[in-house]
Homo-oligomer: A and B are copies of this chain.
């Protein structure tokens, strides 16, 4: 398998965690998003969306991090990244989507660029935007986690799931942009627990071949 990704892309980071959790080796193909390599050949022909990550598995070219992780779950079921029961699976997927649909898309590089270039947002306004969606979005995740007996030590019980694969990269982003995190203690407890796990450690941006300081 070959993963086209970028060390700092949190969608890429999600897939790296899943691959590590499942103990699957892969070739690391870096795509430098800040240099716009996703828009140019050879990558543009590989990804119709012009987005990382892309996973190539034999003849299959897979896009969208959550779809890739579901594919890995179906093709390499052990260890499972989703619970066995339908309601548990729905809860884990909803937590993942609370981040992947409600927080992350608003803080993508291309969105921040649009704010500055088209709407004339100042650096300060851009940072406030970033923090607003992270802080309010994580508050919703906190409510989900704190309310549920299924939470802990991971997002859903005592094994890492898809939800943890999505939560951890979001916290890395939140820290990079110095977002408030003291209002989400359950989220941070789960995050700290994840970061003691070798798969999460191995997948983090600073360990990637294309990492920059």
Q: Which residues of A contact B (CB under 8 A)?
A: 48-51, 60, 62-64, 66-68, 70-71, 74-75, 86-87, 89-91, 93-94, 96-98, 100-102, 104-106, 111, 114-115, 118-119, 121, 125, 128-129, 132, 140, 143-144, 147
Contact = CB atoms under 8 A, between A and B. Distances in A.
A144 B98 contact: no
Give this chain's copy count.
Answer: 2
A119 B129 contact: yes
Nearest to A55: B90
A87 B106 contact: no
Contacts of A48: 140, 143-144, 147
B49 A98 contact: yes
B62 A94 contact: yes
A125 B118 CA distance: 8
17 contacts: A48-B144, A49-B98, A49-B140, A51-B102, A62-B87, A64-B98, A66-B101, A67-B93, A68-B90, A70-B89, A70-B90, A70-B93, A71-B86, A71-B90, A105-B105, A105-B106, A118-B125
